[in-house]
Structure 1
Amino acid sequence: MWKGILLVLTGACSFGILSTIVKLGYHQGFTLGELCSLQAGFGMLVLWGIHFLSGAKTSGLKNKDARTSFILGSSTGLVSITYYQSVQYIPASVAIILLMQFTWMSMLAEWVIYKKRPTPIQWVAVFFILGGTLLAGGLLNNGETPLNWKGIGFGLLAAIFYTIFIVVSGRVAQSLTPLLKSAWIVTGAFLLITLLFPPLYLINGRFTGTSLWIWGIPLAVFGTVLPPFLFAKGMPQTGVALGAIISAAELPVAMLSATIFLREAVTPLQIAGVVIILSAIVVANLQRRSTPEG
């Protein structure tokens, strides 16, 4: 159990520092398309490399599960694009709060798609998550935290796309190993990103002539390689409900890294909002674990 907890916690912390890395990349003059492309491209190469070295069977796109995973990758590609676009307009500590709205969006999506009605306690949790978001997002700080409506919109879009991935991914491609499934998902994400942002950095000298290639390494490791592997290994040991609670560590880690490395100011009201959001997530998922599947 404790090994599983540590694995899931490490995966969540990896996700948590992504927004800070992207923000620092922007400060170096790199673009949204370049950073997204490098993250997916490097991640795809590493995942496929590990898969082939493992000697496991490879399922091509003629396989329905492989094809489904490949298509599902478009949702993760859109998460990266919209989330990192959000970080361009608003503080990283606020962008992660908007992304975390997938916690209640996924409950609603499961209700609409799979007729899995949220419990009364989960509805209460949604109310507190929304209330905590108002505090944590700095909307009650009398203008102290700069907010941009484009950033808010992109942050919520990222939450919607992440909701689609969370709700669908656990129910498809069951015949594939977690590593192969992740490789096909990231390949699909890379294709979408390449169509939207052609990798001109490969021919205009920016890839080798600047430090751009270096930024692709941490983005790929912490965004597309470690989290899927760690979650795949840890979730079976912790269970989905406890795993979801532990993965909420992504929120405080993101805010802490933004405070340390980006010098973003975090007010007591925002800290209180984070505590409320985390508490609501814990309560909602503990309730989900105690409720029989129906």
Structure 2
Amino acid sequence: MNTATKHTLSLGGLFVTLAGAVLFSTKAIFVKLAFGQVRVDAVTLLAARMVFALPFYLVAAFLLSRQKDNVRFTVREWVYVSAIGILGYYLSSLFDFIGLQYISAGLERLILFLYPSFAVFINAFYFKQRISGIQKTALLLTYLGIGIAYFGELSVDANNPDFYFGSLMVLLCAATYSVYLVGSGRIIPRVGANKFTAYAMLAATVGVLGHFLVVNAGKGVALSPDIWQYGVLLAVFSTVLPSFMLSQGLKSIGSNNVAVISGIGPVSTIVQAHFVLGEKIFFTQVLGTLIVIVGVLLIGWKREVPLTEPKPGPV
């Protein structure tokens, strides 16, 4: 392959990865718009999202299972993948949607960016992976940045009685998503990232829809067209499309470059929240965001298993 071809592929990979990272960041915007414009609870909105994402992952699972290099799951792996999908992605999404009812989209994305640090702690305590010096520095920067942005926003949102509860929900989202991330790293090398993603997301969908049916048991549920509209937007533009875009980006430009470009996520969310939702941008938020991005990039620096895999991004 000549240099020109490599350059073309790199530009294409950079563009696809950037677009995928921006699309992932629209999730919080769509959720906040839905809560503001439609009478809907977190479980119902999440169910609407997963209903429209379901066909894409069903097709992906079917096609991947028919490939010649397909690796069949063992019974233990079926249980493992299902548990990760339900306990990781389903729970993290639920906590995230609940939290977004009470805090700003910009702060949600920042708190959510704690998930790489939680993954480092899990690997250190449960799998005895040493935390390097550069990762310790990164962890310090990450929590410093979150602290600066958090207390800055607290001064702006001091009259919100549910501010701490919303923050806690998103923090739980980051923690449970880190379990999904670490767990996926244990099985992806054997079965492949795309197959793991498809089946884990199908399991998460079962969890979400089961929760929805239990909550609404015996009730006549009629969802408005607006709820279905937001479900489509969340499923297609904030879940399916960006997950496949980042997968393509990984193949084209590599995990390190994808990790760097994905750092645009919090910035994109803050900018969109300002222009679409009318959220204020203040100095401590910007400063904290920049520090967090630097910390997250350092956490993933030269890791053997990249933080960014070809699977859905943070909820």
TM value normalised by structure 2:
0.81
What is residue 209 of structure 2 aligned with on the other side? 194
1:214-254 alpha-carbon deviations (Å, 9 max, x no partner): 11111111343123322322224433333222222211111
Closer, same or farther: CA 203–42 of 1 in aligned 2, 3 Å: farther
Deviation at 1:126, TM superposition (A): 1.1
Deviation at 1:175, TM superposition (A): 4.8
- 3-state SS of the aligned residue for 1:140? helix
1:168-188 alpha-carbon deviations (Å, 9 max, x no partner): 112214454544432211111
1:93-118 alpha-carbon deviations (Å, 9 max, x no partner): 11111110112111212212332212
Distance in 2 (alpha carbons) for counterparts of 1:25 and 1:204: 21
Distance in 1 (alpha carbons) for counterparts of 2:59 and 2:218: 21
What is residue 42 of structure 1 aligned with on the other side? 52
Distance in 1 (alpha carbons) for counterparts of 2:217 and 2:157: 34
What is residue 211 of structure 1 aligned with on the other side? 226
Deviation at 1:26, TM superposition (A): 0.8
Deviation at 1:201, TM superposition (A): 10
Deviation at 1:161, TM superposition (A): 0.8
1:134-170 alpha-carbon deviations (Å, 9 max, x no partner): 2222x13672234611011101100101111111112
Structure-to-structure mapping, 1:23-42, within 5 angstroms: 23-27=32-36, 28-42=38-52
Structure-to-structure mapping, 1:47-196, within 5 angstroms: 47-52=57-62, 56-57=66-67, 64-74=76-86, 75-137=88-150, 139-140=151-152, 143-146=155-158, 148-176=163-191, 178-196=193-211
Relative to structure 2, which stretch is displaced further, 168-177 or 257-266?
A: 168-177
Distance in 2 (alpha carbons) for counterparts of 1:8 and 1:270: 25
Q: Percent identity?
A: 22
Distance in 2 (alpha carbons) for counterparts of 1:55 and 1:169: 18
- Stretches of 4+ aligned residues off by more than 6 angstroms: 58-62
Distance in 2 (alpha carbons) for counterparts of 1:141 and 1:276: 16
- 3-state SS of the aligned residue for 1:172? helix
Instruction: Identify which of 280, 293, 297 aligns with 1:265.
Output: 280
Structure 1 unaligned blocks of 5 or more: 290-294
Q: Which amino acid aligns with 2:144?
A: G
Structure-to-structure mapping, 1:238-257, within 5 angstroms: 238-257=253-272
Closer, same or farther: CA 111–242 of 1 in aligned 2, 3 Å: farther
- 3-state SS of the aligned residue for 1:46? helix
Structure 2 unaligned blocks of 5 or more: 1-9, 305-315
Instruction: Identify which of 2, 22, 25 aligns with 1:16.
Output: 25
Asked if the contact 2:116/2:299 (under 8 Å) is kept, the reply is: no
Relative to structure 2, which stretch is displaced further, 271-280 or 43-52?
A: 43-52
- 3-state SS of the aligned residue for 1:30? coil
Aligned-CA RMSD value: 2.7
Structure-to-structure mapping, 1:215-234, within 5 angstroms: 215-234=230-249
Relative to structure 2, which stretch is displaced further, 184-193 or 222-231?
A: 222-231
Q: Which amino acid aligns with 2:52?
A: F
Asked if the contact 2:267/2:289 (under 8 Å) is kept, the reply is: yes
Deviation at 1:60, TM superposition (A): 8.1
Distance in 1 (alpha carbons) for counterparts of 2:218 and 2:245: 31
Asked if the contact 2:71/2:190 (under 8 Å) is kept, the reply is: no
Distance in 1 (alpha carbons) for counterparts of 2:26 and 2:211: 25
Distance in 2 (alpha carbons) for counterparts of 1:234 and 1:190: 25
1:12-67 alpha-carbon deviations (Å, 9 max, x no partner): 22221101101111111121111111112211122213554688358887655444
Asked if the contact 2:113/2:296 (under 8 Å) is kept, the reply is: no
Relative to structure 2, which stretch is displaced further, 241-250 or 26-35?
A: 241-250
Asked if the contact 1:15/1:223 (under 8 Å) is kept, the reply is: yes
Instruction: Identify which of 265, 282, 285 aligns with 2:297.
Output: 282
Distance in 2 (alpha carbons) for counterparts of 1:283 and 1:177: 26
Matched length: 287
What is residue 3 of structure 1 aligned with on the other side? 12
